[in-house]
Structures are given as C-alpha cells and as structure tokens.
Chains A and B, each alone.
Chain A
Amino acid sequence: MKYHYFPGCSLKGLGRAYEESLLPVMERLGVELHEIEDWNCCGATVYMATDQGNACVLGARNMALAEKNGAGDIVAPCNACYLTLNKAKHCLAESSAIRRNVERAMAEAHLTYSGNLAVRHPLDVLVHDVGLEAIRREVVRPLTKLKVAPYYGCQAVRPQCTFDDQWNPTSMDQVLTALGATVVDYPLKTRCCGGSLTGTVPEAGLRLTYILLQEALRRGAEVIATICPLCQFNLDGYHDQIARRWGAVRIPVVYLTQLMGVAFGMAPDALGLKRNFLPAEPLLAMS
C-alpha cells in the first residue's frame, strides 16, 4: 500500500504530534507514505473563500507534483487540507475558467495536472484499505476500560462524505473498538470545534469548544479522540480560558493515531504525547 503523503503546514508545526504518531502507526500497518517533494500550502480555507481561482492553483500544484511521482492516492491527514484539496479537485472538474487559470499556472511551472489522483483521509485508508482486522492484529495493549469520545470535526464529513455517513460517521468508532476501547455515544461528533473563531471571536468560538468538552464528560468519556490538528488544538489548548468563563471541563484530547500507537505498544514519547497541554499519559498508562 503506497500513497503520496501531503502533511500540510499543521503537521509540521502545531500539530506535529499528529505526524509523529501517524507515520510510525502507518508504517507498522504496512502503509508506505511518501511525502510529496517541495509541497506547498494546500490553499487553505481562508484563501479558498476570498480567491477561489488562485487558491486552486496552490492545491493543483501539490497534486501535480504527486502525479509526477507516479500512481497512488494522496493522503492528507489534516481535515482542512483534505477538504481544500478535494474542493480544488471539484472546482477544476466543474469550472472551465478555473481550469484555464490553473493550466496557465502549471505551464509556467512545467507541471501537468490531470486530476486522476484521489485525495483521501487517513481514517478512510485505515478502515477501507488497511482494514479493521489488520489493525486488531497489531494491538498488543488493548485499551480496555478506556472510555473514548470519537470526535470527527466538520471538514472530514462536510459538505460531502465519500467514505462514511455524513451525519453520523462511525469509521473512527470502529477503529477505536478494534483497539479494545469503549466508545461513548457522542452525538456531537461532527459539531464545530470553534474553528478559527477561538482566536478571532473567543466568546463565540470558545463556547463551541466548551460545549463539546462538557458533553463528552457528561457522557462519561475519559478522553476525546480527534483526526484534525485544529480540532485537537482548540479542544486541548483553551482549558484555562474555558474554566474561567464556564467552569472547568478538563478532559485530555488526543489524536486517534496516538491511541493506536499506544495500543500497538509504542512508547508515548515516540507518539508526541508529551506535546499535549493536558497530559494524557497517566490515563493511557493506566489502561
């Protein structure tokens, strides 16, 4: 199983722990991730909103670079990258004006974009290519007794979801169950994490984050599993501010791949777990 790997800016910065856990876990499962050489910004949601035509150029360049390296799907672990690249693909297929603009830019860079490569989320790869059975086989420390709230965020499933149910996705639930964890019924699993509002309009953004945290606690979760760097940061990074406004709702928030690494018997240090604001190691050591 070979894939082009598009890390995006987050996985090299704030969301480094995601990459640190994703790469060894995927390697263990026999998934080869080849980082696209000289990749650039995915096009980002904000740029997409202000200048769609040129945002698509950024996305198309990454996909064209991948195409140059041969066949195989592109894996984009960050939900925003995943959505933005797919959106660029969609725009290029639907709009001849955008396609002309992109073709002009690609010609300058001596690249060609054909749109043949699929852009996929690692969760999709885990469930549909690797398979739950293969994941189960790698588990050496089942997460028995650990109660996990699966949190998907919005961008992996909206506006469309190609690999799961849009309203009630369950693929992460299945992976967690395969790890031996107890999945908590969490109806807010695709609700907004606060997005960039946590930075720009904290009263609004943090309230959304707070709702997610307190509901996970109310439903008996001990940890929240995420698949998006912005979700992880929002849910993990503002505990103090939230406590000052609405009261403490302290619950560790980790990447799904970190939980997988722990279940696979990998050392917490090798999975970026030390980077969490609210430490999750004690909890994971227990299980």
Chain B
Amino acid sequence: MKVKDDQPLRIGFYVCHCGHNIAGVVDCAAVAQYAATLEGVVLSRDYKYMCSSPGQELIREDIRDHNLNRVVVASCSPLLHEHTFRTAVAAGGLNPFLFQMVNIREHDAWVHTDKAAATDKAKALAAAAIRRVARHRPLETTRAPIHPDVLVVGGGISGIHAALTLANAGKKVYLVERDPSIGGHMAQFDKTFPTLDCAACILTPKMSAVRAHKNIVLWTYSEVAKVEGYVGNYTVTVRRKARYVQEELCVGCQECVEACVFKEPKFPDRFNVGLSRRKPIYMPFPQAVPQAVVIDPERCIELKTGKCKKTCLEACADRHAIDFQQKEELVQIHVGSMIVATGYELFDPRRLPHYGYGRYPDVLTTLECERLISSSGPTGGELRLHSGQAPTAVGFVLCAGSRDYKTNRWCSRTCCMHSMKLAQIIRERTGAEVTLFYIDIRAPGKGGEEFYDRALAQGVKFVRGRVAEVSDCPLSPAEQGKLIVRVEDTLAGMVRRIPLDMVVLAVGMEPQANAQEVRRIMNMSCSAEGWFLEKHPKMAPVSTFTDGVFIAGCCQGPKDIPDSIAQAGAAAAEALALIDAGGIDQEPNTAYISEEDCSGCKSCVDLCPYKAIAFDPVKEKASINAALCKGCGVCVAACPSGSIGQNLFEDQEVFEEIEGVLAHA
C-alpha cells in the first residue's frame, strides 16, 4: 500500500503495558507480534509506560531512525494522552495527525477478565487503527483568539475569591449573583472553624473589595439566562431582575425602610433563615454588598396594587433611588471563559419527621443555631429557646440526612466540625451542657483533630450512635417539658433517653435545586447526586468537560471554606492560563463542503448546533465556518448529496477502521 504522496507506508506500532493496568489482562507482547505482521507496519514494540519521557523519546527516535511516516499507540483513553503522543509524533518531525490512538485500557483491560479474549480484542482494535491511520492526511491546527473577559457565576466566598484573583491579575470580570447581595452562606456564619476567627471580619473586606475593584462588574439580583458560543468566545445573556431601587443612587441610609407603611417587619427574613422579620423594602443584611435596599414585589403594596402612600419615596426625597417602574432587563456580554461557583443548599430536615423539625420549635438546624449565636442575628447573639429562656442542655444530631441510604448517601464533610464549633461557642458563652450524637467524628485537615480535642477538653459530651427519634413524650419526671433524644449508645451498648432543651440537627449539603438548569445552561455534566462534575477527580479538579468552563466551591461537592477558596484560586489560575496563552488551538476535525457536489438544499444550515453553517445566496451553496465548527458530524450525516466531509472522520478512514475490526474477527 502507498500513501498519498506515493511514499511507501512505514507504520510504527506501540503497545503500552500501563504497568499492570493493561499488561495484567492483555498479553502486550503478543499484540505487538501480531501487529508486526500487518501491512505497512515496519516496527512494532511493547513498552511499560508509553506516556513516560523515555516512552515518548522512543517514538521520536524511531521516526528518525526508521523513517516512520505513521504512528499508532495502543494504550489508554485518547482523552488522557492523545495530546501527549501527538506532541511526540510532531517532535519526531511528522505531522501530528498522522497518528492514531487505540484505547485498550478503558475499552479492554479494565472491563474484561478473560485474558485470551481481551488479547484478541486488543489485536482487533490494533488492526483497525493500523488500517485507519494509513488513510490519514496531514492536517493543520488553527489558532482562535480568546476573549480576555471572564464571567464568574455565584457571589459566595468561592465566586468572590475567583473574581478578585482574576481582577487583580488585570482581567475584567463579570460577577453575577442571584441574591441581592454577595456573601453567600459564609456571611451567615458567626465564626469559622478550626481557628474560631470571626467570619464577617475576614469576609466583608473581600466583599467591599469586589465592589470597589475597577476590573469587576458586579451584578447582584441577576441570573445567567443563556450561554452561546465556545471556549474563548462566549456570548452570555444575563437576566437582571428588577430591584425597584437604582443601585447607583441608593446610599444605603435605609430611611425608606424606616418610613415604609408597614410599621413592623412582617415577612420572614431569608438571611436569618426565617428567625426574624423584614419589611417589603429591606437591606438584605447589615454588611450587604452592594449597600442598596431592595423591594420585594410579592409584598410591596405599591407593586401589588398601585395603591400605597409611598412613604418610602418621600423618605428617599431628592436622591430618587426608588424606582417602581424598573423592569427586568436582559443584558448580553462577551467573555472567553466562565467560572461556576453556585454553591449548595442545606438538606431540609422535614424529610426526617422522626427528628421533629417543624413540629417542635426548639429543634433547629445548624444554620439556625448559627444565626442565634451570631451578634448580628435576631437575638443579638443570645442563645434562646422558643420560650425566651436560655437552654441548659443542648444536643447536636450529626449526619441528619447524610450518610443514609434513605436520604443522602454522601458525607457533607463539614457538619462534624461545624457542630463542634457551635458546641464550643455554646459551652463558652452559656455554660450549657452540650452533647453531640455522632456516627463517626470526621475532623480531617489542618487543625481538625486539635479542634476535636479542644471540644472534649471543654466538656462537650460525645455519644456514638445515630439518633433514632426526637420526641416530647416524657417517661419520667426528669423528662417533663423536655425534648427527649432516643439513641443507641453504641459504645455503652445500650439504648439511652437523653432529655434536652434544644436539639440542633447538623444538616448536610445538597446540590442547589436548580443545579440541573444551570448545568444545561452552562453545558456541564452532573454526578448522579447532582454535583457538577469535574473533568478528572484528581488531575483536573476545577475543569469541566466544556472547555473554558471551570467550577469552584460547593457546587462541585461539599467542602469547607479553605477548600472552597483553594478551588476558587485554582479555577482563576486555569482561566488565566487560558487567557494568557493568547489563543486556543483548535482541533482540525472540522467539517468541510465540497462545493461542486452541494445542491444548496440548506438541510445542514438549521441542523448545525453551533450555527457554523451559512448559506451563500449568490453561489447557492452552503459554507462552513471552521472557527465555529466543533466537529460533531451532524451535517456530515444529514447531507443528502454526501457533499460534506469531515477531517479525521473521512469515510475511507472510518470504513478502513470497521474493516480492520471485522477482518480480525
């Protein structure tokens, strides 16, 4: 067989052991021996680690010494190492697309146990690739420019940190937050574990920095509605909800709130998780950024009926910040990359009726307890029961809804430490007895174990056992008027009933309710639980399967503040690497039209998901913009006249591959 330019075929074939990963199941030497007999193969080797430097060097040297003009490597998934080997081939002086990779690890060794059959399969796959590569033509990669602006979705601590990092590096950042203020869950915390430093003191400077940064465009009360385009060139539509207050005119004096016709705050306050009340016009919380009030259209009389005295307008006077005519807006921006940091939701303990949440007012969640001990909370930091009295005995039920086949199977990683933090603060401030009911205490990370020791030293009691029930059914005088926790103490080997005043449920983290919607908009994948999926759990923890889209913080899975910030920094660095590379190499696996065959039927134009095909009305032919084509192949399959071809997926290439497999069978 001859190649196109009439040189005889000289194929080099390599089969990788991947340690025991492949060699444990596939007889690599036998595959190499078999490949050596195939047409065009002049050299066939098996080697322990093809991806190692010596492995790559081998390819380079062989190309030079044996004058190879095609290379095939049978190893792992092309997702992992196609780029590595193409680079090695290029270093040897060949066009990198005169190369074909065979996946005999994920597609063969890892999924089979029958060694003889697996070896046979490897031979078949190798034969297919060898026949295919003979048809490969040299191709050139093109380089597309990258838009330097970045969109960060979500204004919690992860989004804030990512935005600041990028902005400090001189990039323009759009930070889009759904709520009226940035800050996220961290703004609701009193202190942070394990150092017990004040959460607000370390968060609010970063929030203000976001507001003040010249490179950051902060859009709160806004959501991403639509994303179009591809890496380096995204067009994003942002829905800016009506706040009914001109953000740039509001000075945050809150005289309007004072003047509102509702004399008393009446509606549940989200920041205090419903433990306090707010008015229809309100400041989300004291340190909110931006310092601008917001009007709740569901509650405001003027917005509902148009028949209010509008005392707020009078109070605002000549500042004219209040604007009842404000409408929702759709704004389009262009960015080259995006960081998704949309956070988490807390497990709703109403799904565990035996814990009595919603039935007994002194059964709380950890976040509610957090607000009660926070000095900016509804009680000014005094831990109080529903009755107004101070509790003398408080219990924490760990893993409420977590590590449970009936609810969420995962460990939320932070609840043990979070509960121990609250337990220590309660011990310090009130002297109440505190009991933690746990399955396992998980206090990993820097300072975690020491933090656990500190809780023990402070006299926090630990009872090992999953709580069966929280009830108000007393069996003894000591239990009268108390909440009774029934638990199997697995260390003492007995069932215990422990009377308490307050029970705090350590609820775990869940993906946001709209995670699937966000996933679709951003074109990402989700794990089975609904967390956004990273490209590789170890090697690419903040990348996604969509180039230019990165993830950070709890939207990827439960994690604490240090880990969230580390991820946010990593995501920002990945985005920076992308931007500062100056452009993106595009795979040449694009579709092309042979004009003489095109009948101008336009079938392909509407089918293209990337809007890469245009119709030339003068020539009456379709034309493909290679910069927009992602190589999905839809048009190739749909074209009725067969006039669309695709680089790296030419008909002859694919047919040779099929025949190669079948010939071996």
Contact = CB atoms under 8 A, between A and B. Distances in A.
Contacts of B472: 187
A277 interface: no
Contacts of A165: 353
Interface string A212-228: 00110010000000000
A105 interface: no
A211 B475 contact: yes
B237 interface: no
Contacts of A187: 356, 359, 471-473
* Chain B contact residues: helix, strand, loop or mixed: loop
A184 to B, nearest CB: 12
Q: How large is the interface on A (under 10, 10 to 19, 20 to 34, 35 or more residues)?
A: under 10
A125 interface: no
A168 B353 contact: yes
B353 A211 contact: no
Contacts of A218: 473-474
B143 interface: no
Contacts of A168: 353
Nearest to A168: B353
Contacts of B353: 165, 167-168
B136 to A, nearest CB: 51
The dominant DSSP class at the A interface is loop
Interface in B465-484: 471-475
A188 interface: yes
Interface residues of B, number: 9
B401 to A, nearest CB: 14
Contacts of B356: 187
Nearest to A186: B473
Interface string A232-255: 000000000000000000000000
A167 B473 contact: no
Interface string B343-365: 00000000001101001000000
A187 B470 CA distance: 10
Contacts of B475: 211, 214
Interface in A147-171: 165, 167-168
Nearest to A219: B473
A211 B354 contact: no
A188 B356 CA distance: 12
B467 to A, nearest CB: 15
Contact of A167 (B354, B471, B474): B354
Nearest to A211: B475
Contacts of B473: 187-188, 211, 215, 218
A235 to B, nearest CB: 16
A187 B486 CA distance: 14
Contacts of A188: 471, 473
Nearest to B473: A215
17 contacts: A165-B353, A167-B353, A167-B354, A168-B353, A187-B356, A187-B359, A187-B471, A187-B472, A187-B473, A188-B471, A188-B473, A211-B473, A211-B475, A214-B475, A215-B473, A218-B473, A218-B474
Given A168-B353, A187-B471, A215-B473, 10 more contacts: A165-B353, A167-B354, A187-B359, A187-B472, A187-B473, A188-B471, A188-B473, A211-B475, A214-B475, A218-B474
Q: A-B pairs with the 8 shortest C-beta distances? A: A167-B353, A215-B473, A168-B353, A187-B471, A167-B354, A188-B473, A211-B475, A187-B473
